């Protein structure tokens, strides 16, 4: 299996996009101003047990989809990209696949996702799956909110979640 990477622009800065032969395997919004920082790629390499090779242009289709999304088009990324789920298993996989079904501009609570995923009472596990998703934005974990309707967190950047929810509410 070969892995390759490229960067795709977002309003939050360039994001690391890693692809396998099966599809996109990881999409990371960096915590750094520079997404090419070695620790980001090294972390992905540890997860994949292989170092992705640079492949300029590999994220072109994704970049076009992201541009449309950030222009306010209701893009369902999984309709255009193959998702390689190798970095997710068991309940987190089920939760994230359930989250893919949340429509543009809609939200569900962590508890509602747990119920839909067949595990009532697993709201915290849904939150963990959202926090650890390998597919920021692509799998719309930002559409999962607290039971009181407040956004909650989005990694260390709750303002990003608010931005995405506001974008989809227009």
Q: Is the pLDDT of residue 35 over 60?
A: no
Strand 108-109 and strand 144-145: the pairing is parallel
Residue range 73-96, pLDDT digits in tens: 999 999 999 999 999 999 999 999
The pair of structure tokens assigned to 156 is 């260390």
In this predicted model, which residue has the larger pLDDT, 35 or 144?
144
Q: Is the pLDDT of residue 36 over 70?
A: no
DSSP state of 74: -
> How far, in Å, CA of 108 to CA of 141, rounded?
10
């Amino acid at each position: 299996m070969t892995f390759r990477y490229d960067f795709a622009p977002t309003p939050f800065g360039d994001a690391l996009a890693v692809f396998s032969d099966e599809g996109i395997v990881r999409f990371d919004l960096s915590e750094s101003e520079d997404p090419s920082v070695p620790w980001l790629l090294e972390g992905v390499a540890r997860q994949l047990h292989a170092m992705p090779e640079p492949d300029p242009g590999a994220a072109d289709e994704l970049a076009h989809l992201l541009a449309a999304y950030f222009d306010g088009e209701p893009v369902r990324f999984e309709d255009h990209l193959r998702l390689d789920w190798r970095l997710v298993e068991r309940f987190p996989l089920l939760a994230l696949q359930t989250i893919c079904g949340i429509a543009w501009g809609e939200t569900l609570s962590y508890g509602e996702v747990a119920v839909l995923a067949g595990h009532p009472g697993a709201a915290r596990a849904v939150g963990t799956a959202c926090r650890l998703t390998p597919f920021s934005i692509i799998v719309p974990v930002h559409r999962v909110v607290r039971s009181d309707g407040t956004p909650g967190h989005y990694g260390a950047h709750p303002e990003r979640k608010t931005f995405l929810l506001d974008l989809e509410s227009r």
